[in-house]
Structure 1
Amino acid sequence: MSAAPSPSARRKARRFALQALYQWQLAGQPLHEIEAHFRAENDMRKVDVVYFHELLVGVPRRVDEIDALFEPALDRRLQELSQIEKVILRIGTFEMLERLDVPYRVVINEGIELAKVFGAEDSFKYVNGVLDKVARRCRQAEIGAR
Structure 2
Amino acid sequence: MTEPQDDSRPEGAQGHQTRTGRTATGARKAAAKNPRSRAREFALQALYQYQVGGNDPTAIDLFTRDLSGFHKADAVHYDALLHGCIREAAEQDALMEPLLDRSMERISPIERAVLWIGIYEMRHCPDVPWRVVLNEAIELAKEFGGTDGHKYVNGILNSLAPTLRATEVEADRGRKKPAA
Q: TM-score, normalised by structure 1?
A: 0.92
Number of aligned residue pairs:
140
Offset of 1:46 from its aligned partner?
A: 1.3
Question: Which position in structure 2 is the counterpart of 1:26?
Answer: 52
Offset of 1:9 from its aligned partner?
A: 0.4
Task: Show CA shifts across 1:44-83 (max 9, x none).
Answer: 2211011111111000101111111111111111111111
Is 1:11 aligned to 2:37, yes or no? yes
Q: TM-score, normalised by structure 2?
A: 0.75
Paired residue for 1:75, among 77, 80, 101?
101
How far apart, CA to CA, are the structure 2 residues paired with 1:121 and 1:41? 26
> 3-state SS of the aligned residue for 2:73?
coil
Q: Which of the pair has the greater relative contact order for Cα pairs under 8 Å at 6+ separation?
A: 1
How large is the Cα RMSD of the aligned pairs?
1.1
Paired residue for 1:36, among 49, 53, 62?
62
Question: Which position in structure 1 is the counterpart of 2:91?
Answer: 65
Question: Structure 1 stretches of 5 or more lacking a match?
Answer: 1-6
Is 1:94 aligned to 2:120, yes or no? yes
Offset of 1:18 from its aligned partner?
A: 0.2
Offset of 1:35 from its aligned partner?
A: 0.8
Question: Structure 2 stretches of 5 or more lacking a match?
Answer: 1-32, 173-180
Runs of 4+ aligned residues of structure 1 deviating over 6 Å after TM superposition are none
How far apart, CA to CA, are the structure 2 residues paired with 1:41 and 1:14? 14
Question: Which position in structure 1 is the counterpart of 2:136?
Answer: 110
> 3-state SS of the aligned residue for 1:41?
coil
Percent of matched pairs sharing the same residue: 46
Is 1:122 aligned to 2:148, yes or no? yes
User: Larger helix proportion, structure 1 or 2?
Assistant: 1
Offset of 1:100 from its aligned partner?
A: 1.3
**After superposition, where does 1:42-53 map in structure 2 within 5 Å?**
42-53=68-79
Offset of 1:42 from its aligned partner?
A: 2.4
How far apart, CA to CA, are the structure 1 residues paired with 2:166 and 2:70? 35
Is 1:134 aligned to 2:164, yes or no? no
1:122 is aligned with what amino acid?
D
Offset of 1:144 from its aligned partner?
A: 1.3
Bigger Cα Rg? 2
Is 1:144 aligned to 2:170, yes or no? yes
Task: Show CA shifts across 1:70-98 (max 9, x none).
Answer: 11111111111111111111111111111
2:49 is aligned with what amino acid?
Q
